[in-house]
């Protein structure tokens, strides 16, 4: 006989999540709204508070809920939207488990940064954040300081692409690579090459040249991660067509 389904024991906290999710979809529940307290939710859903709390941990991990203790309008569980935080945790753990390789992560980052720079160029993005980050990098005296503003520069590019999902991906990818960033700067010895790359990227976006922006980003990342063998042909996406 076929068509059997494995008995799906639904755990209590999964039911809680499903019901909260349903209320997000159904009712107008949206970012900033407050959820009922754990005790109240437990009573309404006829589950124990522990199960409600496990559901909260999951939603918190996924970046859609945040909890504050205490009393008053700021206390309790709220709907938020922090996909990048969730993605960072995910990448960090899977990198640690070696279920994802550094090469794959760098490769994905290259994909997203090229895409972001291209889009930023085409959209005619606001360059002020990038410009400010460039100036701060020039003034930096330590590798840590440089890396901090370098991150701001790349984040500005991602945000200029106008896509919050790819921006979140880019943020989390860079976050999971941060430990390699400082050592990369220290290994290179000086930041002149990196800064030249940055200016080239900045110039290309300012000039609206998507192809040049994309190529500049690729050159920059190849310089920053010389040990990573990026796949051949990376510079040919969509060329000509």
Partner DNA sequence: ACCACAGTATGGTCTGACCATATTCCCCAC
Partner DNA sequence: GTGGGGAATATGGTCAGACCATACTGTGGT
Give the three-class secondary structure for 36: coil
Near its own copies by CB under 8 A: residue from 12, 19, 37, 79: 79
Any contact of residue 164 with its own copies (CB under 8 A)? yes
Contact call for residue 38 and DNA (CB under 7 A): yes
* Piece of the chain touching DNA by CB under 7 A; list 48-56, 144-152, 200-208, 215-223: 48-56
The whole-angstrom separation of Cα 119 and Cα 45 is: 46
Q: Interacting stretch for DNA, rule CB under 7 A, among 62-70, 81-89, 106-114, 170-178?
A: 62-70
Stretch that binds DNA, among 11-19, 126-134, 139-147, 201-209 (CB under 7 A): 11-19
Smallest separation (angstroms) from DNA to the CB of 13: 5
Contact 56, 36 (CB under 8 A): no
Give the x/- contact pattern for its own copies in 35-54, rule: CB under 8 A: ---------------x--xx
State both tokens at 141. Answer: 């005296």
* 32 interacts with DNA by CB under 7 A: no
Residue 81, Cβ density class (10 Å: 0-12 exposed, 13-18 middle, ≥19 buried): middle
Bridge-partner residues for 79, per DSSP? 65
Dist. CA 85–CA 120, nearest whole Å: 23
Give the single-character DSSP code of 235. G
**Does residue 53 interact with DNA by CB under 7 A?**
yes
């Amino acid at each position: 006989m076929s068509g059997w389904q494995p008995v799906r024991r639904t755990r209590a906290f999964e039911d809680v999540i499903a019901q909260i999710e349903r209320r997000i979809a159904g009712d107008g529940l949206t970012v900033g709204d407050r959820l009922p307290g754990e005790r109240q939710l437990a009573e309404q859903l006829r589950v124990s508070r522990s199960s409600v709390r496990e559901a909260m941990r999951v939603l918190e991990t996924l970046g859609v809920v945040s909890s504050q203790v205490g009393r008053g309008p700021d206390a309790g569980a709220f709907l938020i939207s922090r996909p990048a935080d969730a993605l960072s945790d995910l990448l960090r753990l899977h990198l640690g488990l070696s279920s994802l390789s550094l090469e794959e992560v760098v490769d994905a980052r290259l994909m997203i940064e090229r895409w972001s720079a291209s889009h930023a160029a085409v959209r005619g993005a606001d360059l002020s954040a990038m410009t400010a980050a460039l100036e701060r990098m020039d003034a930096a005296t330590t590798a840590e300081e440089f890396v901090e503003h370098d991150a701001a520069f790349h984040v500005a590019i991602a945000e200029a692409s106008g896509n919050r999902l790819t921006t979140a991906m880019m943020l989390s990818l860079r976050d999971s690579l941060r430990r390699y960033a400082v050592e990369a700067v220290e290994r290179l010895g000086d930041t002149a090459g990196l800064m030249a790359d940055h200016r080239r990227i900045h110039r290309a976006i300012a000039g609206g040249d998507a192809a040049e922006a994309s190529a500049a980003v690729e050159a920059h990342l190849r310089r920053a991660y010389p040990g990573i063998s990026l796949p051949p042909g990376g510079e040919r996406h969509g060329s000509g067509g």
